[in-house]
């Protein structure tokens, strides 16, 4: 039986979750509104693979592209309500769009308000912030509903939230009984020359395809990093307001 998922929030946790669910064959839609907190970062310096750091917006754009390459689709819209139904969930946006799905991953730091009508979801109020109560794998206690990233009270760090998105996606894949082992790309013969079937989720590729994939990947990275980005980081709203006040006086 096929499974589908809406992932609410296209930040680092949601984008990583979407990459994993889509690669596992889950029909995945990311519904997102606004920009990731990471757009406030001035230069992202603690992500593995980027020894001198990386522009946070370039990193985010590449994460979006990765999720799209994996097969996820994207819808712009602020999610205002999730309703539990006999078959799963209905996810509604402020513009009146509605998605009926088996599973939902809430990865929408810092908005959990749209989950208020789902019986059984716990919320953790910490000062001005509200987190969704979930176990380490993002399970909320409501079957089919998960929380990922900062919204699930993970440390406020890109790699941790991205990794958590992957963990939560794999929990969803496991719970939905999607045939899956790991989503590895291996050299031809890695399994089959040991008389093993290629496990579900894995693929063996021949040497010419490996070289072709590497060439495409290198070319895409060259394009992505040729020009510096023009945008300024997004400033904290209270600093913007204070600067405007200073300008007025």
Please identify which residue in 27, 157, 191, 224 interacts with ligand FAD, judged by CB under 6 A: 157
Least CB distance to ligand FAD at residue 96 (A): 14
Token pair recorded at residue 45: 């310096």
Q: How buried is residue 17: exposed, middle or buried, by Cβ count under 10 Å (0-12/13-18/19+)?
A: buried
Residue 197: CA atoms inside 13 Å, Cβ hemisphere, count?
Answer: 5
Q: Does 158 bind ligand FAD (CB under 6 A)?
A: yes
Task: Tell me the site size for ligand FAD, rule CB under 6 A.
Answer: 34
Q: Does 182 bind ligand FAD (CB under 6 A)?
A: no
Q: Does 149 bind ligand FAD (CB under 6 A)?
A: yes
Residues in region 26-85 near ligand FAD by CB under 6 A: 31-38, 40-41, 44, 46, 78-79
Nearer to ligand FAD, 89 or 114 (CB): 114
Binding mask 184-223 for ligand FAD (x = CB under 6 A): ----------------------------------------
Residues in region 95-124 near ligand FAD by CB under 6 A: 107-109, 111, 114
Least CB distance to ligand FAD at residue 152 (A): 8
Residues 6+ apart with CB under 8 A from 172: 3, 5, 17, 21, 26, 103, 105, 138, 144, 146
Q: How many other CB atoms are there within 10 angstroms of residue 61's CB atom?
A: 13
Nearer to ligand FAD, 15 or 178 (CB): 15
Phi-psi region of 64 (alpha: psi -120 to 50; beta: other; left: phi over 0): alpha
Q: Does 13 bind ligand FAD (CB under 6 A)?
A: yes
DSSP for 30-88?
EEE-S--GGGG-S-B--STT-TT-B-HHHHHHHHHHHHHHHT-EEEE--EEEEEE-SSS
SS3 245: helix
Please identify which residue in 5, 6, 8, 67 interacts with ligand FAD, judged by CB under 6 A: 8
Please give the Cα distance from 214 to 204 (Å, whole number). Answer: 15
Least CB distance to ligand FAD at residue 239 (A): 10
Residues in touch with ligand FAD (CB under 6 A): 8-14, 31-38, 40-41, 44, 46, 78-79, 107-109, 111, 114, 149-151, 156-159, 161
């Amino acid at each position: 039986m096929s499974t589908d998922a809406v992932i609410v929030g296209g930040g680092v946790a949601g984008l990583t979750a979407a990459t994993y669910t889509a690669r596992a064959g889950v029909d995945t839609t990311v519904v997102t509104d606004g920009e990731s907190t990471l757009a406030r970062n001035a230069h992202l310096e603690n992500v593995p693979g980027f020894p001198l750091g990386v522009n946070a917006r370039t990193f985010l754009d590449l994460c979006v592209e990765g999720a799209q390459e994996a097969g996820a689709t994207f819808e712009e819209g602020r999610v205002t309500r999730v309703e539990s139904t006999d078959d799963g969930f209905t996810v509604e946006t402020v513009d009146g769009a509605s998605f009926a799905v088996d599973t939902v991953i809430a990865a929408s730091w810092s908005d959990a308000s749209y989950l208020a009508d789902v019986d059984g979801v716990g919320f953790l109020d910490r000062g001005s912030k509200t987190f969704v109560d979930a176990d380490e794998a993002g399970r909320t206690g409501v079957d089919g509903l998960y929380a990922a990233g900062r919204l699930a009270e993970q440390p406020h760090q890109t790699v941790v939230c991205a990794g958590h998105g992957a963990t939560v996606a794999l929990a969803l894949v496991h719970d939905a009984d999607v045939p899956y082992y790991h989503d590895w790309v291996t050299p031809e013969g890695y399994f089959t020359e040991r008389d093993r079937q290629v496990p579900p989720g894995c693929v063996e590729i021949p040497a010419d395809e490996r070289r072709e994939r590497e060439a495409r990947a290198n070319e895409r990275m060259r394009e992505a990093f040729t020009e510096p980005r023009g945008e300024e980081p997004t400033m904290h709203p209270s600093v913007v307001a204070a600067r405007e006040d200073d300008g007025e006086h």
